[in-house]
Structure 1
Amino acid sequence: MIRAVVLDIAECVVNCEREYRQWANWLGVPAHTFAAAVGVALSRGLEEHDALGLLIPGTDLAAARARRAAEDDLERFTEQDLYPDVRPTLVTLCAAGVWTGIAGNQTAKSLGILRSLDLPCDLIATSEQWGVAKPDPGFFERLVECAPFQPDEIIYVGDRLDNDIHPAATVGLHTALIRRGPWNLVQQILDGDEPTMHIDSLSELPDLIATFNARSRLNLEDRLGS
């Protein structure tokens, strides 16, 4: 039985398009050029911020991020930056009695922003708060400690196979891979354990979980009756 749903933050709850546009403006390059650089970086197994090194060869990535943070508001998102299916899905899940959470690789500042949006969920947490970041399994072990359920009663929803789906599964969680964001496009070809569910929108979760739980009940009844 799935009794808890926990959502990743970037590209699951928060649409990062505005952040990418802000980086492009700060660097003085067209938005599509920065987006292409991000795609190249991800295809090489790097992270989004490594796109800076492709656009400005030899740049000190840490120094560039620190400089932008001093010159611009590096972490800034509002209700308008949430994917439109986030709040309605959380409301539906809560009404169905499902425990809900949001947790991902973000800073303490992002934690404060998310909490200020008054989202209807039981947990909001970030890697900086917990002192451990994905894909370290310790992140998901910490998640299990915070949720009032066993690992196999929790489903983690994310857009990345390497950072979300695979490490969550190693801790015993169910997983749902959401098809959105640049990482999801790049990682279509990776091998590994299949997620419990594939979804195109968070709005699919309530019905899919209800179906999953109904089948689980039938399986249990069959075992008890045999």
Structure 2
Amino acid sequence: MVRTVVFDVGETLIDESRIWLRWAERLEVPPLTFLGVLGGCAALDLSHREAFELLRPGLDFQAEAARWAQDDPDGLRTGFDADDLYPDVRPALAALREAGFDVVVAGNQPPEARAALEAMDLPASAIRTSDEWGVQKPEPEFFARVAALSGVAPEEIAYVGDRLDNDVLPAADAGMMPVLLRRGPWGYLHARRPEAARTTVIDSLTELPAVLAG
């Protein structure tokens, strides 16, 4: 029986559209071109960083991000705020808490993402990021940390994410219930793959209380 529901962040809770569009503007690439190349990377199982290399060969991503921080120190840049929350997030998390589930957020994110999420006052008992832990999905140690944070056995945890490779299949391998959210480029592409049969596929977070009760 699931007692704790753990959520990925990007394209699970947070709509990353504005982040990618800001990058397109920063690199002076047409939005459709940037998003199209990003989608191609998703389809080909390439890292999103490959999109930057394809569009700006030789770009030093970290150096460019640092320059951007100097140019626009008060802007969101690669960050997010409450305006980027998907509309089903608050009602879904609240419904889960009301149904007696513990709610945790843990994803591959930089340290500042935790502060951004905590500022949203989400109905979650804990929020953590990969950079805090020093380990990223899909590494087994990440999911071991998730279990330790949740304080319950892996089989009592449902992990919800938008990717098979990074999120739900590694969670399943760790003994957790895998829930794939058909959202964002990876979510839509991965939901059509045969491996998705190993997971529970949903189209909205508001489906979770009924899915878990079933």
TM-score by length of 1: 0.88
Gaps of 5+ in 2: none
- Please tell me the residue identity of whatever aligns with 2:47: E
Point out the more displaced range, 34-43 or 198-207: 34-43
- Please tell me the residue identity of whatever aligns with 2:48: E
For the pair 1:75 / 2:86, whether they are aligned, the reply is: no
| 1:35-87 deviation per Cα after TM superposition (whole angstroms, max 9, x unaligned) | 01111222332222321111112323333333333334433322110000111
Q: Partner of 2:197 in structure 1?
A: 194
Offset of residue 4 of structure 1: 0.9
Describe the SS at the equivalent of 1:80.
helix
Point out the more displaced range, 149-158 or 54-63: 54-63
Q: Partner of 1:26 in structure 2?
A: 26
With over 3 angstroms needed to count, the CA separation of the structure-2 counterparts of 1:64 and 1:190, relative to structure 1, is farther
Question: Given that residues 11 and 184 in structure 2 are in contact (C-alpha distance below 8 angstroms), is that contact kept between their aligned partners in structure 1?
Answer: yes
With over 3 angstroms needed to count, the CA separation of the structure-2 counterparts of 1:188 and 1:88, relative to structure 1, is closer
- Please tell me the residue identity of whatever aligns with 1:113: A
Question: Given that residues 154 and 174 in structure 1 are in contact (C-alpha distance below 8 angstroms), is that contact kept between their aligned partners in structure 2?
Answer: yes
Offset of residue 191 of structure 1: 4.5
Question: Given that residues 191 and 201 in structure 2 are in contact (C-alpha distance below 8 angstroms), is that contact kept between their aligned partners in structure 1?
Answer: no
Question: Given that residues 155 and 174 in structure 1 are in contact (C-alpha distance below 8 angstroms), is that contact kept between their aligned partners in structure 2?
Answer: yes
- Please tell me the residue identity of whatever aligns with 1:137: P
Gaps of 5+ in 1: 212-226
The whole-number CA distance in structure 2 between the counterparts of 1:160 and 1:193 is 10
Question: Given that residues 75 and 110 in structure 1 are in contact (C-alpha distance below 8 angstroms), is that contact kept between their aligned partners in structure 2?
Answer: no
Q: Indicate the structure (1 or 2) with the bigger Cα radius of gyration.
A: 1
Q: Partner of 1:218 in structure 2?
A: none
Q: Partner of 2:121 in structure 1?
A: 118
Q: Partner of 1:58 in structure 2?
A: 58
For the pair 1:134 / 2:142, whether they are aligned, the reply is: no
The whole-number CA distance in structure 2 between the counterparts of 1:2 and 1:90 is 15
Q: Percent identity?
A: 43
Offset of residue 193 of structure 1: 6.4
Question: Given that residues 15 and 81 in structure 1 are in contact (C-alpha distance below 8 angstroms), is that contact kept between their aligned partners in structure 2?
Answer: yes
The whole-number CA distance in structure 2 between the counterparts of 1:8 and 1:23 is 22
The whole-number CA distance in structure 2 between the counterparts of 1:65 and 1:173 is 35
Offset of residue 190 of structure 1: 4.2
Question: Given that residues 114 and 128 in structure 2 are in contact (C-alpha distance below 8 angstroms), is that contact kept between their aligned partners in structure 1?
Answer: yes
**Off by >6 Å, runs of 4+ in structure 1:** none
Q: Partner of 2:157 in structure 1?
A: 154
Describe the SS at the equivalent of 1:183.
helix
Q: Partner of 2:7 in structure 1?
A: 7
Question: Given that residues 165 and 195 in structure 1 are in contact (C-alpha distance below 8 angstroms), is that contact kept between their aligned partners in structure 2?
Answer: no
Question: Given that residues 177 and 195 in structure 1 are in contact (C-alpha distance below 8 angstroms), is that contact kept between their aligned partners in structure 2?
Answer: no
Q: Partner of 1:37 in structure 2?
A: 37
Question: Given that residues 7 and 102 in structure 1 are in contact (C-alpha distance below 8 angstroms), is that contact kept between their aligned partners in structure 2?
Answer: yes
Describe the SS at the equivalent of 1:69.
helix
How large is the RMSD of aligned CA atoms in angstroms? Answer: 1.6
